[in-house]
Chains A and B, each alone.
Chain A
Amino acid sequence: MSQQLVAFDKIGITFNGRVLLNSIDMSISEGEIVTLIGPNGSGKSTLIRTLLGLQTATSGEVIRHKSLRIGYMPQKLHIDPTLPLTVKHFLALVRGVDKAKIVPTLEKVGIGHLLSSQVHVLSGGETQRVLLARALLNNPNLLVLDEPVQGVDVNGQVELYNLIEGIRNELGCGVLMVSHDLHLVMAKTDTVVCINQHVCCSGSPQHVTGHPAYQALFGVPGADESIAIYAHQHDHVHDEHGDVLSESEDANHKGATSAHANCHHS
């Protein structure tokens, strides 16, 4: 069993009488890719910010392993246009950075040629890679990526997810990702945690997508095959209402109440 890096123990956050998070339990270990999904306003970013120390929990506790070093990649980077800044200078701002590592890290994320570019002229995908490089320069054993593929086209998204997986394989670090695109990210994830103020369901991608709580939030996977690029094993059939039926069972079981109970995932 690999080292557990972070555990959330019954994290709850209440803001102005509104419950943002309610008793969240989850953990991330070395070498594990955990994806946090949930609808807008479900508290994904709040949970991440709690882990990063940008927000304090009203109840519960974040248990950090003493070796924990976080590399954080924010959702987007806004740098005031009045501030002239090259990629190189931006990366040199990492606290205690080894400057000799800047160029190799940029090359690792595939943008070595952008070293002297101004940060203001980068495309969406390039900006995400610069941010990833900045996260990596912290020598992290846990990468925290808040919507890492925002503003990137579909091909670019696949490349970025491949890159993240490659980095995980190379460094053996844990990865915690926030995402609301469900299909692309699934193929690269070990554990999916679906939250909506509380943890709705968690487990392997196959398990979660079959879970009724997930389906209530996001619909039934496979209903829109055209964008289901992840390795989806369609081991169940749907009735005319879109409810999931088990393939092994007869069609006259239509109207089964619990889709999950009848759905045998690998």
Chain B
Amino acid sequence: MEVLIAQIFNGLSLGSIYVLLVTGFNLLLLVAMIIHFSFPVVVVFSMYVSWAVMTATGMVPLGILAGILSAIAVNVVTAPMFQHIMKKRGSVDINATMVISMGMGMIITDILSHTFNQGFPIAFPDALTGNDKGALISTRLISISRGQVLTLIIGVIFVLFLFWLLYKTRAGRAFRAIAEDPNGAKLVGIPLLKTGLQSYALTGILGGVTAVLMAVLLGSASAGLGDQLGHKVLAVSIIAGLGNLKGGLIIGLLLGVLEAVIQGYLAGSWSNAIAFIIMLIVILAKPKGVFGSSL
């Protein structure tokens, strides 16, 4: 019983990473109609930037700031590229944004794999991860760290906040209007450029915070991390229903627990394959997602 509880906590902690990433992914879908397949790769890039600044200056807060700023920068800088593609919607479909995003992922992963730290994995200082302080709660098998609690709470808060922002406020409606029909939005007087940039910056902030939380939670990162997460994030988003924020929260956590239980009780080397098969079955049974698409 203790093992099961321990594994569920482990799963929730992994799941909270999925939740944060899926939320960022869904947000881009909602406010910009982008299938940003490589969003997790951008997040890992911010982890690297954050690490580089921390190692160079020795100042953790500066590193955190750099991580968040870099995520915003990447998002805002690449925005015109995606918008350019989306302008041609009609002749070009949404797949094109996914292919572009995959291209971005190839570039970032490759740069990370042989520039920072000679391509070796990076490790974050204890001052950030809090590893030296020990666990918050700890029995023989169950161990809950500050980072785990923080990530889960912030994940849930972010989902609720975005839900409120997008569906209950004027600004949110403007974001969604632009994504769905740029010309229509222009007609009703929404400033396209300003609102567009705001929405990209918002996703950037989410990405940056995710990067910092992942650094706290995982303590280290390697170049391939973004790709490993990217496949699952896309799957979670589809299963929950593309763009469905609440669905992403639930499915993200469930996937984390599922993986932890497979690794804990079945053979670990099968965990990815089993997780994907289960997700595949759900996708085949419910092509529009368990909670329905919000697009």
The answer to whether A and B belong to the same complex is: no
